[in-house]
């Protein structure tokens, strides 16, 4: 089995792949910048065993991170648990991807992973919308070249900002089945503004990217916050959960020894 790890600002996602590239389990742990490698090793072992996997049976591991200070910590934790090679998606790792940005080395490794997966799926041009702490848009042109990206605040960031910066707005939860557009109270109005607002922003960005990349644009929607916005979007998208993990698997196959 291969252990794939996506380190985000709020959540660390783990997935286990077999040799046929089938994803068997997905688990999430909270991102804690002050945790040590020993603490993360304990957490990773616990969630893997909870899902029926033995860390020592992992024959490889691959990770990407948008939290640089945790990359080495998580890598050390995995090496302790699995006693295997760990591929860290960073400069120098083979991806097979052509990147046309000002500084390709500075591109987020999560964006690289979703771009690798989108390019491999072959439906180009493509746009990957990844909704996490930040909402990112990664664009591939008709030749499969990563042409650029967009970074916007995520849903939870917007909600937190309302509560922290506006004195009369409370802290609320978005765990609800539906949110009507016109709220009848402050809580409902906030939920509408955050969820319908995020969905409308994504719809608008997709429309603008289609103008630049072509009418045959394929749009993939992924990320931990994607389910909250998907129901309120009007653009046609393909939901693909854990797209970063699938991209990590492809990158690992290109770099395995």
Which one of the listed residues 18, 38, 102, 110 is annotated catalytic? 110
Pick the closest to residue 243 from 4, 67, 33, 60 (CA basis). Answer: 4
User: How far are the Cα atoms of 71, 166, 171, 198 from residue 160, in angstroms, in the given order?
Assistant: 26, 10, 7, 14
Cα separation, 252 vs 144, whole angstroms: 19
CA 116 to chain centre: 13
Asked if 160 is an active-site residue, the reply is no
Catalytic residues: 110
């Amino acid at each position: 089995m291969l252990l794939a790890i996506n380190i985000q600002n709020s959540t660390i996602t783990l997935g286990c792949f077999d040799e046929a590239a089938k994803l068997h389990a997905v688990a999430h742990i909270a991102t804690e910048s002050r945790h040590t490698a020993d603490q993360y090793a304990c957490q990773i072992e616990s969630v893997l065993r909870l899902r029926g996997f033995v860390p020592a049976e992992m024959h490889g591991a691959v990770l990407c991170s948008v939290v640089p200070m945790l990359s080495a910590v998580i890598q050390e934790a995995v090496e302790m648990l699995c006693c295997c090679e760990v591929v860290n998606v960073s400069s120098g790792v083979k991806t097979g991807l052509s990147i046309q940005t000002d500084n390709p080395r500075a591109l987020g490794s999560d964006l690289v992973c979703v771009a690798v997966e989108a390019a491999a799926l072959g439906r180009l041009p493509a746009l990957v919308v990844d909704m996490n702490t930040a909402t990112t848009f990664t664009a591939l042109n008709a030749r499969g070249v990563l042409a650029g990206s967009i970074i916007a605040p995520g849903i939870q960031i917007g909600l937190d900002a309302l509560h922290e910066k506006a004195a009369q707005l409370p802290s609320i939860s978005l765990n609800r089945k539906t949110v009507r557009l016109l709220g009848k109270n402050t809580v409902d109005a906030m939920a509408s503004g955050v969820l319908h607002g995020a969905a409308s922003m994504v719809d608008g960005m997709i429309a603008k990217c289609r103008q630049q990349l072509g009418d045959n644009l394929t749009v993939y929607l992924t990320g931990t916050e994607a389910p909250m916005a998907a129901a309120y979007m009007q653009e046609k998208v393909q939901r693909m959960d854990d797209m970063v993990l699938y991209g990590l698997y492809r990158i690992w196959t290109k770099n395995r020894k």
